[in-house]
Amino acid sequence: MTIIRHELEPILANVVEARPFVFTAGAIADDLSLDVLGQTRQALADLDRYLALCGTDKSRVISAVIWLSDIRLRDAMNTVWLAWVDPAHLPARACIEARMADPLCLVELQIIAAKP
């Protein structure tokens, strides 16, 4: 199997292709001064880019884990999630609370998608 790693950072790859799947790192917003709506939008835009690098897209997302710094942000995060997901192609998902690396980070999302 050929493994293809994209957007390398010192400690991780932001997305890794390993057929038949694509595995992302935990995506967070670039601008952590944003509220949870803005942070979720930016993190999802990163996921869109990661998927595109692998020749796939959000219609092929299979599974997601979402961490929120405060679980009470879930409803707000979900409004952005609902605007993003393809309603005909919803992934399995878990959403829990966790403290993340940067105390300003409100939301982090990690997904598995399929290659076409």
Q: Which residues bind its own copies (CB under 8 A)?
A: 1, 3, 5, 8-16, 18-21, 23-26, 60, 62-65, 67, 71, 74, 78, 81-82, 85, 89-101, 108, 110, 112, 114-116
Neighbouring residues of 45: CB distance < 8 A, sequence distance ≥ 6: none
End-to-end alpha carbon distance in the chain: 16
* Nearer to its own copies among residue 35 and residue 62 (C-beta): 62
**Least Cβ distance, residue 4 to its own copies (angstroms):** 10
Checking phi first, is residue 7 left (phi over 0); if not, alpha (psi -120 to 50) or beta? left
* Nearer to its own copies among residue 35 and residue 97 (C-beta): 97
**Least Cβ distance, residue 16 to its own copies (angstroms):** 5
Enter the tokens of residue 67.
Answer: 């961490």
Kindly report the number of other CB atoms within 10 A of residue 112's CB atom: 16
**Least Cβ distance, residue 33 to its own copies (angstroms):** 19
* Nearer to its own copies among residue 41 and residue 63 (C-beta): 63
Q: If 0-12 CB within 10 Å is exposed, 13-18 middle and 19+ buried, where does residue 45 land?
A: middle
* Nearer to its own copies among residue 34 and residue 63 (C-beta): 63
